[in-house]
Chain A
């Protein structure tokens, strides 16, 4: 069953919080992974691995560089669901 955008945001926020120690409410759609949340490339790949697992999607490496903000990731995952 497909997840809604708000469910994806909530789940992604949990993953980011686990990885970074940030509170989940700091992970909102307009935040940039690198500039606002201070996530480096290795952490970003860790988040992608967990997100693929959680939402049952595939996020190709070529696509990750286009995911600037949390909202970009939510949108991509939403669209990638079967």
Chain B
């Protein structure tokens, strides 16, 4: 056990599938969809072409006090709920605040607060803009509140890389422990962008599914009839710990976070490099960092958002990295159930990959009625798939607008 060994000892989440991590995981294994028709008039009022989203399952006011819901943007509220659950799940470790870090990212930040403040200013003037607006809209708000809650003084960070943000936060948390700056790091991602302006903006970029008559069937990665992603919201948080620290306190360990692979495409502001060069580099770096070979990889949680181009670029990249070993990989595209949590996605999907390794069960991909003939990786469909006994490894891929690529390697020991 070296100082570079980092393990996962706590999990927390609030998502379109459930108000906590166990409920979310059980719903994912059961193949449930978190997408539903929205209860609002945005379509009639603003002409927004999308009437559904993967909205949060449990209202945050179920778990937060009234002042907390007023002082925190929804994105910070979700993060706080997930962080508290993860911390308790880890057994509320006793750790010196100077050895405890927090890394919680959001791709977009407190956009509800930003836009509510702008509405207030225009309608009622500057005197009515609330004094808490700035600490609620800043993208580091969620991690700042989490660090306050837990007394984390080794550093509180919010790395922003669009839809890779949640995974990059976990990668940074791993690095904090490896560099000796912390023994325990609470890390993850959050997003709360189900607001008419960002939905209108995503719709304008023609990236959203328009399957209004079938919300639960709209997110269909790798299906030939996929027509875009389903916007989701929520947060996931993991407690990372040096293996030595976890062992010393007899903590329950879910899995080891063995490798981090980062790269950037430098190709286009939104499109992935069609050659997948950056994605390939990220996965190779994660495997090298973990000291594992392609044949060890039995499961991948794909970034797969259900867009025409993106889904297949990733599977081609996987085959480039793993070669023939690709044939024994169980690929899961859990956004088929959760929708796309943007800055929360990489954290939730890492949580899923950790649970998959721990329980040796890969979650299903739903809505794949007709798999794309160009899909080059074995896909887990409809029912969860058993993962083999012995030493196994999984990868979570997360990619973001801007050309950010993050691959995290997870092992059972």
List chain B residues, Cβ under 8 A from A18. 66-67, 70
A42 neighbours in B (Cβ, 8 Å): 131-132, 135
Q: How far is the CB of A31 from chain B (nearest CB, A)?
A: 17
Are A49 and B65 touching (Cβ within 8 A)?
Answer: no
Tell me how far the C-beta of B65 lies from the nearest C-beta in chain A, rounded to whole angstroms.
5
A46–B70 alpha-carbon span in the complex (Å): 11
Which residue of chain A has its CB nearest to the CB of B135? Answer: A42
* A21 interface residue (CB < 8 Å to B): yes
A47 to chain B, nearest CB (A): 9
Q: Whole-angstrom distance between the alpha carbons of A19 and B130 in the complex? A: 12
Q: What 0/1 pattern do residues 164 to 194 of B give for CB contact below 8 A with A?
A: 0000000000000000000000000000000
Report how many residues on chain A are interfacial, defined by Cβ distance under 8 Å. 11
Does any Cβ of B come within 8 Å of A7's Cβ? no
**A53 within 8 A of partner (CB):** yes
Which DSSP category, helix, strand, loop or mixed, fits chain B's interface?
A: helix
B128 in contact (CB, < 8 A): yes
Could you tell me the distance between the alpha carbons of A75 and B277 in the complex, rounded to whole angstroms?
Answer: 69
Interchain CB contact under 8 A, B66 and A21: yes
CA distance A53 to B123 in the complex (A): 13
List chain A residues, Cβ under 8 A from B66: 18, 21
B127 interface residue, CB < 8 Å from A? yes
Given that A19-B67, A19-B70 are known contacts, is A53 also in contact with B128, CB under 8 Å in the complex? yes
Q: A18-B70, A19-B67, A20-B67 are in contact. Are A46 and B132 (CB under 8 A)?
A: yes
Name B97-137 residues within 8 Å CB distance of A: 127-132, 135
Q: Which of B65, B70, B127, B131 is packed against the most chain A CB atoms within 10 Å?
A: B131
Set of chain B residues within 8 Å of A2, measured between Cβ atoms = none
Q: Restricting to A23-53, which residues have a CB under 8 Å from any CB of B?
A: 42, 45-46, 49, 52-53
**Are A49 and B67 closer than 8 Å at their CB atoms?**
no
| Least distance between A15 CB and chain B CB atoms (Å) | 11
The smallest beta-carbon distance between B119 and chain A, in angstroms, is 15
Q: Inside 8 A of A52's CB, which chain B residues have their CB?
A: 127
- Rounded to whole angstroms, the CA-CA distance of A58 and B125 in the bound complex is 13
- The closest CB in chain A to the CB of B68 belongs to A21
Chain B residues with CB under 8 A of A58: 127
Min Cβ gap A41→B in Å is 9
CB distance from A60 to the nearest CB of B (A): 11
Q: Is the CB of B127 within 8 A of A46?
A: no
Alpha-carbon separation in the docked complex, A49 to B127 (Å): 7
Measured between beta carbons, the chain A residues less than 8 angstroms from B128 are: 49, 53
Shortest distance between the CB of A43 and any CB in chain B (Å)? 8
Determine the distance from Cα of A45 to Cα of B126 in the docked complex, in whole angstroms.
13
Cα distance A42–B131 in the bound complex, in angstroms = 6
Return B62 CB to nearest CB of chain A, in Å: 16
For B67, what are the chain A residues with a Cβ–Cβ distance below 8 Å? 18-21
Interfacial chain A residues near B130, Cβ < 8 Å: 46, 49
Complex formed: what's the CA distance from A46 to B67 in Å? 12
**Shortest Cβ distance from B317 into chain A, in angstroms?**
47
Q: Which residue of chain B has the shortest Cβ distance to A52 in the bound complex?
A: B127
Shortest C-beta distance, A25 to chain B (Å), equals 16
In the complex, A20→B67 CA distance in Å?
6
Question: Which single member of A20, A21, A45, A53 contacts B131 (CB below 8 Å)?
Answer: A45
**Which residues from chain A contact B65 at a C-beta distance below 8 Å?**
21
Within 8 A of A (CB), among B293-350: none
Further pairs besides A19-B67, A19-B70, A52-B127: 20, Cβ < 8 Å: A18-B66, A18-B67, A20-B67, A21-B65, A21-B66, A21-B67, A42-B131, A42-B132, A42-B135, A45-B131, A46-B130, A46-B131, A46-B132, A49-B127, A49-B128, A49-B129, A49-B130, A49-B131, A53-B128, A58-B127
> Could you name 17 residue pairs across A and B whose Cβ atoms are closer than 8 Å?
A18-B66, A18-B67, A18-B70, A19-B67, A20-B67, A21-B65, A21-B67, A42-B132, A42-B135, A46-B130, A46-B131, A46-B132, A49-B127, A49-B128, A49-B131, A53-B128, A58-B127
Which 6 A-B pairs have CB atoms at the shortest separation, nearest pair first?
Answer: A45-B131, A21-B67, A46-B131, A42-B131, A21-B65, A46-B132
